Amino acid sequence: MSQLRIAEIFGPTIQGEGALIGEPTVFVRTGGCDYRCVWCDSLHAVDPAFRHTWSAMTTDAVWAEITRLSKGNPLTVSLSGGNPAIQDFAPLIVKGHTEGYRFACETQGSISRPWFADLDTLVLSPKPPSSGETVDWDAFDACLVAAKEAAHIVMKIVIFDDRDYDWAKMAADRYPTLPLYLQPGNLEVDPAVPVDLQDLSDKLLWLVEKVMADCWFAPKVLPQLHVLLWGNKRGV
């Protein structure tokens, strides 16, 4: 049986961002990513320097950990990373669905997978210019095609500055039917450094005032709830 590269499995905790904010969730954070965003807050699941901390697990072993953590309660399972689309989660999703679990996946939209169509929620999070990455919109479109109509598909964009904001408007124009969630970026990602709550609040206010001034009412603007509660601590 093939092995999955897993950086961590934790929860249940609440989903801290986007369409499922507040939802009780078990997180499966995968190891490895095809991007290197300059402000990545999950480098321990991206940088091969942390590879020794990742585990090679079978689907059955991942499933056993999900059911142990959730105590058999059929919660939402969020596949995050890293980029979970690098790996094959089809067998895990099939297994979980038979037990009543729901599956969400968050990915930047650079790699499409047939199992996107089996998800309950697909969060496509294209990275704005401040990330240092360049979005391949053809690859992004392929993710939408792969997801078909089966998944609840939403778009989430992190905004750090005016350029990101303008870019998000361009992305929204490109996909007018996708529900859109915006959140201000957090540049302080060191788990050992306390977050500056005033700074996070100021950034959220800046973004809210900007969309209102523009009469741009399509997106929902949200904070990263887990950062407000736990800072950059991992595994919560």
Question: CA torsion angle for 136, 138, 143, 144 (degrees, to 10)?
Answer: 120
Residues 6 or more apart whose CB falls under 8 angstroms from that of 166 comprise none
In this chain, which stretch among 3-11, 23-31, 34-42, 61-69 interacts with ligand SF4, using CB under 6 A? 34-42
83 binds ligand SF4, rule: CB under 6 A: yes
In terms of residues, how long is the chain?
A: 236
Shortest reach from residue 103's CB to ligand SF4, in Å: 18
Q: Which stretch binds ligand SF4 (CB under 6 A): 31-39, 54-62, 112-120, 221-229?
A: 31-39
Q: Beta-strand (E) ranges in 160-228? A: 180-184, 220-221
- Does 124 engage in binding with ligand SF4 (CB under 6 A)? no
The smaller minimum CB distance to ligand SF4, of residues 37 and 123, is found at 37
Pairing of strands 121-124, 102-107: parallel
SS3 195: coil
Binding of ligand SF4 by 32 (CB under 6 A): no
Cβ contact 119:150 at 8 Å = yes
Q: How far is the CB of 82 from ligand SF4 (least distance, A)?
A: 5
| 27 vs 63 by CB, closer to ligand SF4 | 27
φ/ψ of 105, rounded to 5, equals: -140, 135
**Residue 82 or 219: which CB sits closer to ligand SF4?**
82
Is 204 a residue that touches ligand SF4 (CB under 6 A)?
no
Q: Note the residues at the interface with ligand SF4 (CB under 6 A).
A: 33, 35-37, 40, 42, 46, 81-83, 108, 127
